[in-house]
Chains A and B, each alone.
Chain A
Amino acid sequence: DSGVTQTPKHLITATGQRVTLRCSPRSGDLSVYWYQQSLDQGLQFLIQYYNGEERAKGNILERFSAQQFPDLHSELNLSSLELGDSALYFCASSSPVQDRSGNTIYFGEGSWLTVV
């Protein structure tokens, strides 16, 4: 158990709909990352938040958005869903510690999204 909690574990929704994925980072971690994993693309970085502020953006579509709240949990919002958005979405977190131990990114168990 990495200590990163994600909900829901599975969800099925129709094209055009909007869903919200939720993540609680490990205790004490300030950074939250979102990744998408599909069969053909591997793990793709979407976005990072640090202590409530957006820190870095990766390959995140304009239809997707995220935020990190004062209690440090994060939500990833996916809207106008398409069949191709079906994937595993992972949240990860890392420590604010400045030494090397702060480099490690720990992943949650993921949210399976199926768009039908």
Chain B
Amino acid sequence: EDQVTQSPEALRLQEGESSSLNCSYTVSGLRGLFWYRQDPGKGPEFLFTLYSAGEEKEKERLKATLTKKESFLHITAPKPEDSATYLCAVQAYSGAGSYQLTFGKGTKLSVIP
């Protein structure tokens, strides 16, 4: 069974204080690892997909990296508007031509001015 574990569950940062969120996973046949941002009461917003170990992607203050067992979401000099829950998900083949996402429970990030 595919499993995704995110840590920490919650993280409070001062504005400008860089940090990293962790996503560890076990999956049979990883097709891709996804990062989403979710604001309270809203739908998950797609951020990145990573496909192979060593791959990195950046978007503004966010950089996602991937190894064979985990992914990190690095946040550089965060701003209060980066406050959200960050979700990690692995996509794997589930049969009948279908690929499914298995989500972690997320890391709730709060950036204090």
Given A42-B106, A45-B101, A56-B95, are A103 and B49 neighbors across the interface (CB < 8 Å)? yes
Q: Is B67 an interface residue (CB 8 A)?
A: no
Contact B43 A90 (CB under 8 A): yes
Q: In whole angstroms, how far apart are the Cα atoms of A34 and B110 in the complex?
A: 28
Interface residues of A, Cβ cutoff 8 Å to B:
2, 4, 42-43, 45, 48, 50, 55-56, 58, 88, 90, 100, 103-110, 112
Residues of B within 8 A of A (CB-CB), count: 28
List chain B residues, Cβ under 8 A from A48: 98, 100
Given A56-B96, A100-B51, A104-B49, are A43 and B103 neighbors across the interface (CB < 8 Å)? yes
A102 (CB) vs chain B CBs: closest residue = B99
Contact B43 A112 (CB under 8 A): no
List chain B residues, Cβ under 8 A from A50: 97-98
